[in-house]
Amino acid sequence: MLALYGGFLILNPGHYGWLDSLDLAIHEFGHPLFGVFGEFIGALGGTLMQLLVPAIFVAYFWRQGDRHAAMVALWWVAQNLWNVSVYVQDARAEELPLVGGGEHDWNYLLGTLGLLNHDQLIGGGVRVAGVLAYAWSCLRGWTYAGERAEPT
């Protein structure tokens, strides 16, 4: 089911799906959490948290020996990468609605780095990374589906 849903998401960038409210809450939590390290890291913190949380699940399940669950969590990382890619590619246009208004994270981040004119290329790279993670999670998840978890 995740493979099919992921295919739909790949073909429909920007679609607001069933995980997106959770991902948005995690993203928003990352801003104040990482904000203690300064304005730039605080702005980046939303995206960092959005990718870190599912990556922690990947590591946890992998360490527990549940490779299939780790691949499901990797699928979640891929889905978040697609969402991040849409946000990055919106950096110059700033057309996406933002929670509570405020500054566009990726407009600020890329502008600070002098890379704002490359938002489409950078966002495209993030999207490709998501597609690769998705493909890997589906292929390996399928092979691990029948295995029993070996506790470590």
Is residue 115 in some structural domain?
A: yes
In a domain, 67, yes or no: yes
The dihedral built from the CA positions of residue 69, 67, 71 and 73, taken in this order, carries a sign that is positive
Q: State the residue range of the domain holding 7.
A: 2-14+55-144
For residue 102, being part of any structural domain is answered with yes
Statement: residue 148 has pLDDT above 90: no
- pLDDT of 16: 84
Q: Is 29 contained in some domain?
A: no
Q: Is 91 helix (H, G, I), strand (E, B) or coil?
A: coil
Q: How many domains does the chain have?
A: 1
Cα–Cα distance between 57 and 68 in angstroms, integer? 12
Q: Please write the tens of the pLDDT for every residue from 18-61.
A: 899 999 999 999 999 999 999 999 999 999 999 999 999 999 99
**Collapsed DSSP state (helix, strand, coil) of residue 19:** coil
Is residue 21 included in any domain, yes or no? Answer: no
Q: Does pTM top 0.85 for this prediction?
A: yes
Residue 34 located in a structural domain: no
Beta-sheet strands, E only, within the chain? none
Would residue 125 count as lying in a domain? yes
pLDDT band at 130, cuts 50/70/90?
A: very high
